[in-house]
Structure 1
Amino acid sequence: MASEENFDTGDAGASQTYPQQCSSLRKNGYVLMKGRPCKIVDMSTSKTGKHGHAKVHLVGIDLFNGKKYEDICPSTHNMEVPNVKRKDYTLLDVSDDRILELMDDDGNLKSDLNLPVNDMGKEIKDKFDEGLMLVLTVMSTMSDEQVIGYKVDNK
């Protein structure tokens, strides 16, 4: 007697985070703090105390909004680390409402990112308007994506 099972999932099953022991985290690495993906900018470890655990003090900056977070965790406990991906895209167009038209190396189009509102966004727009070919680096993690850099493509 065979039972019919139906699994409805929208992804390939890859987790957005993975656990890592607090003591093995490193400066310039990534960690989840208060539910947000952060880059570790400072960390220090205290000595073992009366209850036996050394504590790790972490300071992180949110990858997408720049907000500063702090956390303290026993060194033997696990913290969640986000899976962070970087991908390069060729810039095809910037619309009047600041939406980017991008293409990856396989020819797939992407048009769901906005031009950054900082100085880098202005530089990208100015260089694109000059007619330069630009390659934008997009960082993505936990369903957030953002342009984090660019370079002029001299092909």
Structure 2
Amino acid sequence: MADDFDTGDSGASATYPMQCSALRKNGYVMLKGRPCKIVDMSTSKTGKHGHAKVHLTGLDLFTQKKYEDICPSTHNMNVPRVTRKDYQLCDVSDGFLSLIDDGGETREDLKLPEGDLGKEILKRFENSEMFMVSVMKALDEEHVIGTKAMTS
């Protein structure tokens, strides 16, 4: 019998469980299927039926949309694995960024962000500034979230 391995990932999940009562403000959590940063949380007292409830308010990491959820404090919630990496900007063409990491690897698959951040990146690029862009990744979704000056 031959085993069929269609996926080549390391088996590490994009999320991991954490008890509601262990979550903290400014931490991350999955709300309504989206990776969110916790901006507010409150815990209600234990009621007649035994469980304290945690009321979570979070902002989507990528769209800044607000999500809310209520969960018993003893239950688990999924927490997204969030990574952040800085790349040096090499080029901007056709709305995509050409980036290089500190290991010399290049990538050209990230779109120029919309709004003020995109305008700032374009302006700094057109002024021939050397700078880094910060890329946040969660659940196979990646977005440029900021810029910072190069330190040599």
Aligned to 2:121, the other structure's residue is in SS state helix
Aligned to 1:70: 68
Give TM-score scaled by structure 1 length.
0.94
- Matches of 1:146 and 1:86, distance apart in 2: 10
Q: Is the aligned partner of 1:21 residue 2:19? A: yes
Aligned to 2:110: 113
Shift of 1:6: 3.6
- Matches of 2:137 and 2:2, distance apart in 1: 36
Aligned to 2:122: 125
Relative to structure 2, which stretch is displaced further, 44-53 or 143-152? 143-152
Aligned to 2:31: 33
In structure 1, runs of 5+ residues without a counterpart are none
What amino acid is aligned across from residue 141 of structure 1 in structure 2? A
- Matches of 2:130 and 2:9, distance apart in 1: 33
Q: Is the aligned partner of 1:148 residue 2:142? A: no
What amino acid is aligned across from residue 35 of structure 2 in structure 1? P
Between Structure 1 and Structure 2, how many residues are aligned?
A: 152
- Matches of 2:35 and 2:74, distance apart in 1: 21
Q: Is the aligned partner of 1:56 residue 2:71? A: no
In structure 2, runs of 5+ residues without a counterpart are none
- Matches of 1:106 and 1:154, distance apart in 2: 16
Identity of aligned residues (%): 64
Q: Deviations over 1:93-113 (max 9, x none)?
A: 001x21000011111111111
- Matches of 2:48 and 2:105, distance apart in 1: 57
Give TM-score scaled by structure 2 length.
0.96
Aligned to 2:6, the other structure's residue is in SS state coil
Aligned to 2:25, the other structure's residue is in SS state coil
The answer to whether the Cα contact below 8 Å between 1:133 and 1:154 also exists between their aligned partners in 2 is no
- Matches of 2:62 and 2:20, distance apart in 1: 23
